[in-house]
Amino acid sequence: MPVTKSAEGPQGADALKLDVIPSPTSAKHLQNKDSSCVDGSSSESPGLEKTKGITEFQTLIHLLKGNMGTGILGLPLAVKNAGILMGPLSLLVMGFIACHCMHILVRCAQHFCHRLNKPFMDYGDTVMHGLEASPSAWLRDHAQWGRHIVSFFLIVTQLGFCCVYIVFLADNLKQVVEAVNSTTNNCHYNETVVLTPTVDSRLYMLAFLPFLVLLVFIRNLRVLTVFSLLANISMLVSLVILTQFIAQEIPDPSRLPLVASWKTYPLFFGTAIFSFESIGVVLPLENKMKDARHFPAMLSLGMSIITAMYTGVGALGYLRFGDDIKASITLNLPNCWLYQSVKLLYIVGILCTYALQFFVPAEIIIPFAVSQVSKRWALPLDLSIRLAMVFLTGILAILVPRLDLVLSLVGSVSSSALALIIPPLLEITTYYSEGMSPLAIIKDALISIMGFVGFVAGTYQALDELLASGESLTFSNSTFIQ
């Protein structure tokens, strides 16, 4: 899901807020050398700009912002795929497990920081050192593959986010344009709106590509600060307006099934775990805190708020719209300018966030590619790769234009691995030689198995739905229902 990274200026105020998940390659590059997980506190580096670290409140805000993206807008449809009782309960359970896995990652990273006397340990480093500590000689010999696996899933996750963004942008802009002639200032006018047909959704996707290319050509992170700030403001305002609307006029919930068909539950799993995907931010945030000893408490508080918010939006959204719920709840909003502005604000926020999410796979792929050529060809190759990656996400979005299935597929494939499968296995490899209780091993094994089952079932179900759609994709996401 989107993540906020911050660096502070001379006055201690946030000078850089970036919606990226630091990758194994870029994490150290992005980190200021001002903190140490060895003693749990920050220290100033001579010769560098002095920084004080972030406070507990700032850490909490960054963690909350890191989970706010398109995923939350797809949760009402996810609850429909699970049932009005099973869906919220499952979100609560998944939120607890996701939080527990984040704590595992933090604990393992701190363990290797102390053991190896390193100031910072990113996700890839932690997995690599966890395999090196394994009692298995084969795992120790192939420990470097741990870093590569994490890099692979980060690339898949972030490019998946970019694909989701393109589909989201096209669906919402298409609906706004088609309804513009009927849009009024009266938000209580409940007659069905007759849309004015425009071009295919795929053409809207293509229309966004030139703007996205220009954005990703911005390679300076500080220049992207303006876009990050704009994205944060626009998405926050739109979420506030959206929440107050869905909380009104809830119909009788007795008509909704408590538990949906088991065949659609894997789609719920994929979308839900996609929304909880913020595990990549926990180590950078912990490293930036003034006093890292308070980070576990902030992590638990932040994830509790996030889980409650997700559960509330998912349940209320499904209760409000029932079987008419769309892949993004913004597509269910009334046809008045107040609620059309929610879509426009979110479009602006997601458009700005695309370049920030794109930065992670770019920082993994481009430095390696550029190192293979002479300095003369470095910049042309850099820009060519960025151009190719943007068009790749555009092509994938065009091929898979159903937003709900893209969310579920990305969540099932990569988010399951990063958030549920790898952390419990990492705990076993890290602490097994030092002695682990059988209950802890069983617990970790069960979490990983659950993540793997969700990975397989969610991926299969999403692909099956895509194949079932065949050549007659109806682009139901773009159909307006009042």
The residue length of the chain stands at: 482
Q: Which residues of 393-431 are buried (b: 16+ CB within 10 A; e: fewer)?
A: bbebbbebbbbbbbbbbbbbbbbbbbbbbbbbbbbbbbb
Q: Which of 130, 234, 246, 125 is nearest to 172 (CA)?
A: 234
Question: How many Cβ atoms are within 10 Å of 223's Cβ, its own excluded?
Answer: 10
CA-based angle 397:342:172, to the nearest 5? 25
Helices (H), 217-336: 225-246, 265-275, 282-288, 295-321
| CA separation for the pair 189, 177 (Å, rounded) | 19
Q: Is 19 helix (H, G, I), strand (E, B) or coil?
A: strand
Angle between helices 144-178 and 123-132 (to 10 degrees): 150
DSSP 289: B
Q: Which of 100, 98, 146, 116 is nearest to 37 (CA)?
A: 116
Question: Which positions ≥6 away from 125 have C-beta within 8 Å?
Answer: 24, 109, 112, 118, 147
Q: What is the largest CA-CA distance in the chain?
A: 69
Question: How many Cβ atoms are within 10 Å of 266's Cβ, its own excluded?
Answer: 25
Report yes or no: 366 and 196 within 8 Å, Cβ to Cβ: no
Q: Using CA atoms of 402, 403, 407, 410 in order, give the dihedral in degrees to the nearest 10.
A: 50
> What single letter denotes the amino acid at residue 461?
Q
> What single letter denotes the amino acid at residue 9?
G
Structure tokens at 21: 């998940």
pTM (2 d.p.): 0.77
| CA separation for the pair 29, 3 (Å, rounded) | 17
358, HSE (Cβ side, Cα atoms, 13 Å): 33
Tens digit of pLDDT per residue, the chain (482 long)?
444 433 333 333 333 333 333 433 444 444 443 444 544 443 333 333 334 577 888 888 778 776 777 788 889 999 999 999 999 999 999 999 999 999 999 999 999 999 999 888 888 899 999 999 988 899 999 999 999 999 898 888 888 888 988 988 998 888 888 877 776 666 665 444 555 666 788 899 999 999 999 988 987 766 776 777 787 788 888 888 888 888 887 888 888 899 998 888 998 998 888 888 678 778 878 888 888 888 999 999 989 999 998 999 999 999 999 888 988 888 888 878 888 888 888 888 888 888 878 887 888 899 889 999 888 899 999 999 999 999 999 998 888 777 777 778 888 888 888 999 999 999 999 998 888 899 999 999 999 999 999 899 888 888 888 777 654 444 433 333 32
Report yes or no: 427 and 286 within 8 Å, Cβ to Cβ: no
